[in-house]
Amino acid sequence: MALKYTCEKECGETHARLGRVQTAHGEIETPVFMPVGTQAVVKALTATEVRALGAQIILGNTYHLAVRPGIETVRALGGMHAMYGWNQSILTDSGGFQVLSLAQLRKITEEGVKFRSHVDGSLLDLTPEYAIEIQEGIGSDIMMCLDHLPSTTAPRAEVEDAMSRTTRWAMRCLNARTDPKKAVFAIIQGGTELDLRTRHINELCQHDFDGFAVGGLSVGESIPAMYDTLEHTAPQMPADKPRYLMGVGRPVDLLEGVARGIDMFDCVMPTRNARKGGLFVDRGRRKMNIRNAAFKHDRRPIDETCDCTTCQGYSRGYLRHLLYANEILAHRLLSIHNLRVYVRLMEEIRQALREGRFKAFYDEWKSGFTDPKNTQTRDPSRWTKSS
- In the chain, what are the domain boundaries? 4-267, 274-363
- Which one of 147, 228, 253, 266 is the catalytic residue? 266
Cα 166 versus chain centre, distance: 19
379 catalytic per annotation: no
d(CA 115, CA 44): 28
Q: Residues of 78-113 as b/e, b for ≥16 C-beta within 10 angstroms?
A: ebbbebbebebbbbbbbbbbbbbebeeebeeeeebb
266 catalytic per annotation: yes
Q: What is the DSSP letter of 7?
A: E
d(CA 15, CA 245): 14
Cα 22 versus chain centre, distance: 18
Helix axes 328-354, 316-324, angle to 10 degrees: 130
Q: Residue 126, SS3?
A: strand
Per-residue pLDDT of the chain (387 residues; tens, 9 = 90+): 799 999 999 999 999 999 999 999 999 999 999 999 999 999 999 999 999 999 999 999 999 999 999 999 999 999 999 999 999 999 999 988 897 788 888 999 999 999 998 989 998 999 999 999 999 999 999 999 999 999 889 999 999 999 999 999 999 999 999 999 999 999 999 999 999 999 999 999 999 999 999 999 999 999 999 999 999 999 999 999 999 999 999 999 999 999 999 999 999 999 999 999 999 999 999 999 999 999 999 999 999 999 999 999 999 999 999 999 999 999 999 999 999 999 999 999 999 999 999 999 999 999 999 887 654 443 433 434 432
d(CA 218, CA 225): 10
User: Would you state the CATH architecture of domain 4-267?
Assistant: Alpha-Beta Barrel (3.20)
Cα 39 versus chain centre, distance: 15
The answer to whether 385 and 231 have CB atoms below 8 angstroms apart is no
The answer to whether 88 and 25 have CB atoms below 8 angstroms apart is yes
- Which one of 93, 141, 228, 253 is the catalytic residue? 93
d(CA 286, CA 278): 10
Give the torsion sign (CA, 128, 134, 137, 141).
negative
